[in-house]
Structure 1
Amino acid sequence: MDNSCPFENGKVNEKNSTNENNWDKIIPIPAYLKKAKYGLIGYMPMFFFISPYHLVGIGLFASLLLPTIVIGILSFIFVIYPLVKQILRYFNWLPMPHSTEILRTTYSARCDGDFVVFLIGSRPNGPNPFEKSFIDLKSAFQSMIKDLESDSTSGYMGGDLYVGANERKSSVLYVQYWRNYESLQGWTHKKMGVHFKSVTQYMNKDRSAGLYGIWHETYKVRDGEYESIYENMPPIGLALATSAVPETKKNNGQNRMQRRSKEKQAEVTKNTSGTD
């Protein structure tokens, strides 16, 4: 699929809509955006072990040991170069990162039918960011994402990874959207599956040591009992995992929450009138 984002020009897939809210017009989302890029986020929890004092101390210590030319080069790389890039972006001489992926309008998510939201997270508890068990956990998260995205029949609809700003709580969070609870249970309890092996290792080896903590929460969402709004955002959350639709009205949360019940009622009325 072409990597250009058609929603930059406000294009939508028309379905001969008669809906005043345009909720049956689907905004196309390129398939590559649905892939959860793990990237450097796997190393982000290590920064919970580092404070600004550490960084200042390292800089001062390096200035005492390294030649002036080396200090100058490092200063350019870590200070001047990012500053120049930001100035160029300020004057629109350089595009902002991922700016072409922004949906420059107001939109909502549409997911017909029941679905499940599954949250899973972890945080380091030990003093060593290079502890093998925590590195193994990072690898398990990566393998879990690859496994889910490679199997279109699992019932997994999509998800994304986030790093928490509160170091007291979860440092890594993976938000997943599933078609139903049975599919989620089938995947998590699949013998020799990625999740099954990771949990088994934690229970048998890492649980007693307590070098890292893990948690999860599961929510069953009944058909239509949700609402969402996104403005000038790239596809994210439920809209990315399912479908993005235009939202043309302001302060329309109540109508979005009632959308499915109204559609069902209209369908019942239509079928009833058709049999008369």
Structure 2
Amino acid sequence: MQHHTHAHDDDVVVFNIGMTIARPHRIDLWWPVFVAMPRMIAELERHRAAAERGEAEDLGFLGATTLMGRRGPWVVQYWRSTEQLYRYASSADHAHLPAWKAFNAAGRKHPGAVGIWHETFAVPASGVETLYGNGAQIGLGAATGTVEVSRRGARARTRLGSRVA
């Protein structure tokens, strides 16, 4: 069995964002919110690729995983810093701010139809431990790459806070 761990050695910001649908029959109210996030993730992925080629500024976005839960969809995003996350969120040059303004306008007209939520965790490099077994690659490992688990240690306790050797 092959075991891997994340390759990222620096601090990371884990940003969870999602929506809840209170009125499923009102697709006209929740669909615009639902489709806004994939557009933002696509924009961030394009910008990340351009930054890797040296053609754009690094926004700090490392990657994302989209999940579906009982209450609705959510996205786990990985960022280099909270400053970069907040800069993206408040920039008029990117997709988030217009989507946020549209959501607020719709929310005032139809309160309670669609809920949104987010959680931000600033995690020091010493607070991250991962394991990906038998080819599983998701989360931080998918966003930043993986290395053989032996590069950090065979046990979770050993990997927590270790750097790639």
Counterpart-to-counterpart distance in 2, 1:159 and 1:187: 15
Q: How does 1:214-253 map to 2 (within 5 A)?
A: 214-248=116-150, 250=154, 252-253=155-156
Mark the structure with the bigger radius of gyration.
Answer: 1
Q: How does 1:168-183 map to 2 (within 5 A)?
A: 170-183=71-84
Matched residue count:
153
Query: Of Structure 1 and Structure 2, which has the larger fraction of its residues in helix?
Result: 1
Aligned to 2:38: 142
Q: How does 1:1-276 map to 2 (within 5 A)?
A: 105-128=2-25, 130-152=26-48, 153-164=58-69, 167=70, 170-191=71-92, 193-207=94-108, 208-248=110-150, 250=154, 252-260=155-163
1:141 Cα deviation after fit: 1.4
TM-score of the two chains, using structure 2 as the length reference = 0.84
1:210 Cα deviation after fit: 1.5
1:230 Cα deviation after fit: 1.3
Counterpart-to-counterpart distance in 1, 2:45 and 2:125: 24
1:124 Cα deviation after fit: 0.7
User: Which structure 1 residue ranges, 5 or more long, are not aligned?
Assistant: 1-103, 264-276
Counterpart-to-counterpart distance in 2, 1:107 and 1:118: 23
User: Which structure 2 residue ranges, 5 or more long, are not aligned?
Assistant: 49-57
1:211 Cα deviation after fit: 0.8
Query: Structure 1 pair 188/178, CA: closer, same or farther in 2 (3 Å)?
Result: same
Report which structure shows greater RCO (CA 8 Å, sep ≥6).
Answer: 2
Deviations 1:28-68 (A, max 9, x none): xxxxxxxxxxxxxxxxxxxxxxxxxxxxxxxxxxxxxxxxx
Deviations 1:88-116 (A, max 9, x none): xxxxxxxxxxxxxxxx6111112112110
Counterpart-to-counterpart distance in 1, 2:128 and 2:4: 14
Query: Of Structure 1 and Structure 2, which has the larger fraction of its residues in strand?
Result: 2
Aligned alpha-carbon RMSD (Å): 2.0
Deviations 1:141-194 (A, max 9, x none): 121111111112211010110101xx3xx3101010001111101100101532
Counterpart-to-counterpart distance in 2, 1:246 and 1:124: 41
Deviations 1:1-42 (A, max 9, x none): xxxxxxxxxxxxxxxxxxxxxxxxxxxxxxxxxxxxxxxxxx
Counterpart-to-counterpart distance in 2, 1:259 and 1:142: 34
Counterpart-to-counterpart distance in 2, 1:188 and 1:211: 23
Q: Does structure 1 retain, via aligned residues, the 8 Å contact 2:17–2:75?
A: yes
Counterpart-to-counterpart distance in 2, 1:215 and 1:258: 29
Q: Does structure 1 retain, via aligned residues, the 8 Å contact 2:125–2:161?
A: no
Query: Structure 1 pair 155/258, CA: closer, same or farther in 2 (3 Å)?
Result: closer
TM-score of the two chains, using structure 1 as the length reference = 0.52
Moved over 3 A (4+): none
1:127 Cα deviation after fit: 4.1
